[in-house]
Structure 1
């Protein structure tokens, strides 16, 4: 990131902003095994049609998903598999933080978390 100008940093921030909402993460996760229609994504995430479409539009604008129009159906897919690698790294780090916090909390309460 050292060599990025302000315009590039704004684009990077926009990318992370798109990943900062749980519903959008659910949508991306639902596409791990392949392309999905809006209706399929709606069912998999439990969101309304309008909410699903709104979040997909933001993911599309950020370049995280691709869209193919097939008749009257929009079919979405992940634009770059590296997105999942990034999410997996972040999830691993969050798990480490939660585990560390649990150990600290247990220590403060005088509990051995490993027993």
Structure 2
């Protein structure tokens, strides 16, 4: 039963990670904590879109928020997520047709 619960939670995690925009934001946050305005500038996304994605990531427990004065600064709740994303990217690159042609 515990393994099944773990699978459900893992599926929910991958569902949240299924957005390229959220992956971009998580990659940015893996470098350092950032505010919505910083993430908007770095990602090129609109402020409402960034805020919407941050809300989803926060509800999933992937990121946390700290208040610094009037600003809200977002950071990864757990840096394991950065490794999961990096491993997935490496896997996709290794299995890409271009990579296989170069081998």
Scaled by the length of structure 2, what TM-score is found? 0.86
- 2:95 corresponds to which of 87, 94, 97: 97
TM-score calculated relative to the size of structure 1: 0.78
Does 2:3 align with 1:4? yes
Secondary structure at the counterpart of residue 31 of structure 1: helix
**Alignment partner, residue 26 of structure 2:** 28
Q: How many residues align?
A: 102
Which deviations, in whole Å up to 9, do the C-alpha atoms of 1:27-54 show, x marking residues without a partner? Answer: 0111122110110011111111110000
Deviation at 1:103, TM superposition (A): 6.9
Runs in 1 of length 4+ with deviation above 6 angstroms?
A: none
Unmatched runs of 5 consecutive residues or more in structure 1? 105-112
- Of the structure 1 ranges 14-23 and 69-78, higher mean CA displacement relative to structure 2 is found in 69-78
- Is the CA contact (8 Å cut-off) linking 2:93 and 2:99 kept in structure 1? no
**CA–CA distance in 2 between the matches of 1:61 and 1:4?**
23
| Rounded Cα–Cα distance in structure 1 between residues aligned with 2:4 and 2:98 | 39
* Structure of higher RCO (CA pairs closer than 8 Å, 6+ residues apart): 2
1:73 aligns with: 71
Distance 1:9 1:28 in 2: 22
Higher helix share: 2
